[in-house]
Amino acid sequence: MTGAFAFPGQTPIAIAAGQGSLQGLLTLPARLCALVVLTHAGPAPAARDDALAVVLKHAGIGTLTLDLLTPAEERFADLQHNVSLLARRLLDGLALLKQRMLLGELPPLPIGLSAAGDCSPVVLRVAALRDHDIYALVCRGGLIDLAGALYLRSLAAPLLVLVDENDERSTTSNRRALRQLACPHELQTLPAAADSPTSAATFERVARATARWFIDRLPAANPATATVTPAAG
């Protein structure tokens, strides 16, 4: 990870992985009380993550947008479906965040996870493995059962699953998977968009539903103590 953080502001992040490095962007608002990691595997869904980051920023929630594939790996489509590989990399990213918190370079913030599509089962598995560190998560689309039955049953963090109203396969599969959970959970269907499913208006609707889940469920850190001490070099 990089040295000094821009606080408030944005800091590019690089995490060693295999033959390359994972690329991310840490965004810290001036009034910081929590952190949400926005994961993807492959080309960044900039419009979706940007819309969510803006809404979270107004609530005092920082974001780490993290690509779980190196630039060289993004041409291999099969890696986007490798839940075990992507989960290990997200765990590495979380370990570095926690290390920075222990060193005082980041405040001890509650963490949430957000993902869509192929990364949905990844964040669920990681949240189950790091149940003391992850306080809430949101999955949009994807098939959460691919995380594995053991992880579904052991998940403790509150989970929101968002599915498109016309995506019957994801809705049916995810409803079946949710029956295995003991943690608080909710499935919300998103109304079919009159405009494009990738339009700014659609992203804003998803961002507001996602942000509301985190705002309601992430324990608020004390904004007065949520300061960053930049690292040397």
52 CB neighbour count, 10 Å cutoff: 28
Region 89-116: what's the mean pLDDT?
93
Element (H, E) at 26: strand 20-28
Residue 51 pLDDT > 90, yes or no?
A: no
Provide, rounded to the nearest whole percent, the portion of the chain with pLDDT above 90: 59
3-state helix, strand, coil in the chain (%, to 5): 40, 25, 35
Query: For 9-217, which CATH superfamily applies?
Result: Alpha/Beta hydrolase fold, catalytic domain (3.40.50.1820)
Confidence of residue 193 (pLDDT cuts 50, 70, 90): low
Region 31-45: what's the mean pLDDT?
87
Pick left, alpha or beta for residue 208 (phi over 0 → left; psi -120 to 50 → alpha; otherwise beta): alpha
Give pLDDT, residue 197. 56
